[in-house]
Amino acid sequence: MRPWSPATTATGSRTSCATASSSKGFRSRSTSSRAERQDDAVKVVVVGGGSWGTAFAPLLRDHDHDVTLACRDPDQARVIEETGHNPRYLTTTDLRGVKATTIREAPIAEADLIVLAVPSRAFAEVAEALPGNAPVLILTKGLDPATGDRLSTRVQGRPVAVLSGPNMAEEIAQGLPSATVIASEDSELAERLQEAINSMVFRVYVNEDLVGVELCAAAKNVIALAAGGVDGLGLGDNAKASLITRGLVEMARLGEACGGQPETFSGLAGMGDLNVTCYSGYGRNRRAGELIARGATADEAAAQIGQVVEGLTTAPVLRDLSHRVGVELPITEGVCRVLSGESLDGLLASLMGRQPTNE
């Protein structure tokens, strides 16, 4: 029996707050010896050769899984295969023992697990073209830009789970401790993934709130843009803490309207990821907001950072979703206005000048 093969398939609705179901997972490996695990290695393909894919692949390798990192660029894959290092992202990370190839040539059809770590703008195209029926673990944090759907709903005909939390790829690649949550509507799938990934430096929790975890992952990037704006304008710690706290309220408000569980937003995927994204020097969205506050356009900020800034794509999608479900998101609305050309001073005035109300 294939260790991670699904027993049933997943179906996903294309509505904005729809849920996607998953199915029974794969055989437990906890009782097997190291030699037996190597003889019957779980075949994992990590799709996406960016920072997160580069940091995540060694976590799987260190569990004796058979890991392939699938890159879009053939030259990037070749260098990884030859040197054991990614020439573009996290260049000192040791990838020896991780195979590398192109997405087209990766053994996806034969995989027991597919990990998707591609930008949200490319997610649907990649997910819908996947051969086979292996479970998918989503690392991407965002919404589908074309439809506003949660990314799990774009995964059809196979089990699906999402991993999210305060997980800066740069720190994980250094072996620094972190924690995360895996969400799936199939608790057995989530638990098998937990067993396959959890370690002394990467602690994995599980829950069944796929909706809440996905919306946290998307919304926190938008709040981080605003937090970076606070940094760029030099508005101080009080202002930043206030904005982050009210941003968490926005995240929870939207999540509950879409069917998420309130406790998710005070957990790793919510408060945890929001905090690190808004404060870390590695945070791309925070850095982009800071650059915009200092006069850069959104395109200039993204170019200077040199990597995908998901919040720039997600902000208008999240705003439109909030309109569809009738939820007020003043910070998100303000970020969208700034991205459309309004000054940050105007955003500050609009937020501070709102009618006083109960917390």
pLDDT at residue 8, as a whole number? 37
Q: Is the pLDDT of residue 317 over 50?
A: yes
212-352 falls under which CATH superfamily?
N-(1-d-carboxylethyl)-l-norvaline Dehydrogenase; domain 2 (1.10.1040.10)
* Residue 304: other Cβ atoms inside 10 A: 11
pLDDT at 79: 99
Instruction: Compute the mean pLDDT over every residue in the chain, rounded to the nearest whole number.
Output: 90
Q: Are 265 and 249 in contact (CB under 8 A)?
A: no
- Mean pLDDT across 101-116: 98
Q: What average pLDDT does this structure show over 314-340?
A: 97
Share of the chain above pLDDT 70, in %: 89
pLDDT of residue 125 exceeding 70: yes
Higher pLDDT, 11 or 288: 288
Q: Which of these is catalytic: 43, 99, 141, 220?
A: 220
> Is residue 257 scored above 60 in pLDDT?
yes
Q: How many helices (H) and strands (E) does the chain have?
A: 14, 8
DSSP bridge pairs for 100: 69
Locate 220 and state its tokens.
Answer: 């926190």
CA 148 to chain centre: 16
Q: Measure the CA dihedral 358/324/289/249, to 10°.
A: 30
Domain with CATH 1.10.1040.10 in the chain: 212-352
What's residue 40's pLDDT?
57
**Cα 178 from Cα 183, distance rounded (Å):** 17
- In this model, does residue 1 exceed pLDDT 50? no
Model pLDDT, residue 23: 35
pLDDT band with cut points at 50, 70 and 90 for residue 139? very high
pTM of the model: 0.89
Return residue ranges of the chain for CATH 3.40.50.720.
34-208
Mean pLDDT of 163-191: 97
CA dihedral 173, 175, 177, 180 (to 10 degrees): 40
Asked if residue 14 has pLDDT above 60, the reply is no
User: Is 220 among the residues known to form the active site?
Assistant: yes
- Give Cα 62 distance to the centre of its chain: 21
34-208 carries CATH number 3.40.50.2000? no
For a pLDDT cut of 90, what percent of the chain falls above it? Answer: 83
